Chain A
Amino acid sequence: MTGLLSLFRRLEGPQTVGRGPAFWGMFAVVLMGALAYPLFSDGYTVGNTVYFFVWVFIALSLCLIWGYGGSLSFGQTAFFGIAGYSYGILTINFGSAYGFTLVALVIAVAISALFAVLLGYFMFFGRIAGVFLGIVTLAVTLMLERFMAQTAGPEWHIGSARLNGFNGMSAMPPLTIPWPGEPIVLFADVGLYYFVLGVLVLVYLGLRILMNSSFGNVIVAIRENPERAEMLGYDVRKYQLITFVIGAALAGLSGVLYTVWGQYITPSSMGMTAAALPLIWVAVGGRSDLTSTLIGTLMVLAVFQALTIYGSQYALVFMGVLLVLTVLIAPNGLVLGAMNWLGRVTGRVTQRAG
């Protein structure tokens, strides 16, 4: 019981913005709004919102590795793709009966985490850091894309699942929850919305607890000064590897949910452009805070989609400009800056009142 209580106490702390009744009250209001949202909206818009939510996981993973851990990884889309393809291969081969799709989700996330263990071992135990880490992860991602793009021939199949090269895999079954009577199929509207929203809230709160725990503090200490952390007796490599693997699992979760949402996955979801987008969301939102990343991602996605009406090339140019300007002018991120300012203002007001 006390263990559980101390977990709850970790929901707020030095590594996350937002504390006290005001923040959690706002959190509850937003959550209520999100829960009630499908009642006031149509299936298509709800499905589109699910699409936004799906990307939040990969953004949070990058926030964890880059913002908190200080290692810039371009490889998140690789894990995204690996998990997406794994889910497709598993469910096309074994079907969706007996809740297997949920098992496939877990296995697919585990596969991408395993891949991260392998890759991360070579990188972190080789003491790769800084810019080199970015390059190696980027090279892995591009390689994976090229490999998947050339699997068009019929000889590229795993079981009955054709990989289909550049066109990607499609027609995998959606998530299905076994239920007495009739299994619940989560199509990309209200059903999937509640599922993804539930997972998102769990992941968000879980990451808050993790980052405010002693583990999170060590991670931030390593970001600030690796040598000092090492002198204090922490095995930097191990902590970095664990962060990397958790991040990979989150990116994998994003990949599975994306595959489930659209029932397709293509190699271009691992390409240069795809790898750049999470970076933009996280950088613009505020990479060193979970809440800012979450809000920033949703906002940038919404703007991006609104701009895509004028053509996706223009939208991507805009995204590039946004990224460069953010790095030059507001390196900590726009949302985080706004939230800190809001915090200062409200703090001043309450002080004056009290």
Chain B
Amino acid sequence: MDIATHLFSALYQFGDAFAFLVLSACGLAVIFGMMGVINLAHGEFIMCGAYVTAATVHAGLPLPLGILAGTVVSALVGVVVELVVIRHLYDRPLDTIVATWGLSLIATQGTLILVGSTMAGVGTPFGSVQVGAYSYSIYRIVLFCAALGVLAALYALFNWTRFGVLARATIQVPHMAAALGVDTRLIYSLTFACGAGLAGLAGGLYAPTMTLVPTMGATFIMEAFVTVVIGGADVFLGTAPAGGVLAVVKSVMTSWQGQLFGQIGLLVAVIIVVRVLPKGISGFVLRERT
């Protein structure tokens, strides 16, 4: 094997880890960064997206439309959850964690009862490409591009649209935004729906690559939380660089010692970063800037 194939392999693994971290974290990061709410049912929104995607694909829709359906359904569920539960708890952040945990329990067990312990999966599209001695799934490269696309779309949404401006105003000084005539409740609802939709998108994108079980959310949730903790409250200054740093840690540890040590590496990284940069990377960057 020459250096080029080694390099490609390393890049591929980095891209895979980066995509997984960013896609699973950005929904959580949007909700946390904008509303200060930690959504412990995040994994279940991902599961919802994956299940809807699989169901629509089984019903005959092409995969991209299925993923879109998964995203939309998750976002709609997000609106309902915000209206029924989250809305009443904005002044009690710890209680939102507890309540969303309860929702997660209901969703996992409810899916187990309604759909059963597993659901038929969707085949991974695009096949694979041969580089050197190994073959690589093209879909993983698509996922990497999707992660970059999601970051770009979020940047555009929050910086270039009217909704983005109103949302950022609401986050900075809620009562001032309200006084200026912004419907802050609507903004919160939409932001939560946006986060839930992103979770659904992650679920839809990863539906072809994993087994669909009611507890599948748990496989995402740790990576998502670790990325958000390290990244801090800002999606662009936090989540994206945190995804990059953690992807290096994870891919290096994984190729050195295996999957589990990749995750242990993440955990050790988070504990150390938390000690050094309590407000995460974005907190550090923003402090340097001011």
- Chain A residues in contact with chain B, CB under 8 A? 70, 72, 119, 122-123, 125-128, 130-132, 134-136, 138-140, 142-143, 146-147, 150, 271-273, 276, 279-280, 283, 313-314, 316-317, 319-324, 327-328, 331
Contact = CB atoms under 8 A, between A and B. Distances in A.
Contact of A323 (B105, B215, B222, B264): B105
Contacts of B112: 313
Given A272-B218, A317-B113, A126 B38 contact: no
A150 B261 CA distance: 11
Interface in B65-84: none
A126 B215 contact: no
A344 to B, nearest CB: 24
Contacts of A328: 85, 88-89, 99
B285 interface: no
**B32, B103, B275: residue with the most chain A Cβ atoms closer than 10 Å:** B275
B150 interface: no
Contact of B264 (A134, A143, A272, A279): A143
Contacts of A321: 102, 106
A271 B102 CA distance: 15
Nearest to B93: A131
Given A123-B274, A139-B226, A140-B267, A323 B101 contact: yes
B270 A324 contact: no
B18 interface: no
Chain A CB count within 10 A is highest, among B94, B112, B113, B226, for B94
A255 to B, nearest CB: 20
B101 A279 contact: yes
B271 A119 contact: yes
B184 to A, nearest CB: 21
Nearest to A72: B94
Contacts of A324: 85, 99, 102-103, 106
A283 B98 contact: yes
Interface of A is mostly: helix
B109 interface: yes
Contact of A146 (B85, B92, B263, B276): B263
A279 B97 CA distance: 11
B260 interface: yes
B109 A320 contact: yes
Interface residues of B, number: 43
B109 A126 contact: no
Contacts of B275: 122, 125-126
Nearest to A125: B275
Given A134-B94, A320-B103, A321-B102, 16 more contacts: A123-B271, A126-B278, A134-B97, A136-B271, A139-B226, A140-B267, A143-B222, A272-B104, A272-B108, A273-B105, A314-B113, A320-B102, A320-B109, A324-B85, A324-B103, A327-B98
B222 A72 contact: no
Contact of A131 (B97, B221, B222): B97
Interface of B: 32, 36, 38, 85, 88-89, 92-95, 97-99, 101-106, 108-110, 112-113, 215, 218, 221-222, 225-226, 228-229, 260, 263-264, 267, 270-272, 274-276, 278
Contacts, number: 120
B40 to A, nearest CB: 8
A271 B215 CA distance: 11
A138 B28 CA distance: 15
B109 A142 contact: no
Contacts of A316: 105, 109
Nearest to A324: B102
Taking each of B38, B109, B260, B267, which has the highest tally of chain A beta carbons within 10 Å of its own beta carbon? B109
Nearest to B261: A147
A126 B101 CA distance: 25
Contact of A143 (B103, B108, B263): B263
A49 to B, nearest CB: 26
10 contacts: A70-B94, A131-B32, A131-B36, A134-B94, A136-B271, A143-B222, A314-B113, A317-B105, A323-B101, A324-B85
Contacts of A271: 218
Contact of B218 (A142, A279, A327): A142
Contacts of B102: 276, 280, 319-324, 327
Contacts of B105: 273, 276, 316-317, 319-320, 323
A135 to B, nearest CB: 5
A130 B94 contact: yes
B113 A136 contact: no
A136 B97 contact: no
A321 B107 CA distance: 10
Contacts of B270: 136, 139
A1 to B, nearest CB: 43
Nearest to B103: A324
B268 to A, nearest CB: 10
A222 to B, nearest CB: 14
Contacts of A123: 271, 274
Best-buried of B221, B263, B267 by chain A (most CB within 10 Å): B267
A163 B92 CA distance: 41
B169 to A, nearest CB: 23
Lowest 9 CB-CB distances: which A-B pairs, in order?
A323-B102, A320-B105, A320-B106, A126-B275, A324-B102, A316-B109, A131-B38, A327-B99, A320-B102
